[in-house]
Amino acid sequence: MKILVNGKRKDVPEGTSLSAYLEIEGLDPQLVSMELNGRIVEREEWASTGLNEDDELEILFFMGGGL
């Protein structure tokens, strides 16, 4: 199925959870926060939250630098 991740079309298997998606992309869950269809999903719910066709997912990265 097709979803939109950070504005880009992505093809993911049916029933992929948010945790599974991070694993597919090789992203460390500690580095990000995730927003699904405009709502932040709490970290504890990533494993139980499934992606659906046409979902809009934003993966937001911690950026701690500044000095």
Residues engaged in binding other proteins (CB under 8 A): 6-7, 28, 30-31, 33, 35, 38-40, 42-43, 58, 60-67
The minimum distance between CB 10 and other proteins, in angstroms, equals 15
The minimum distance between CB 63 and other proteins, in angstroms, equals 3
Structure tokens at 3: 């979803």
Q: How many residues in total does the chain contain?
A: 67
The minimum distance between CB 5 and other proteins, in angstroms, equals 12
Strand order in the sheet with 2-5: 8-11, 2-5, 56-61, 32-36, 39-41
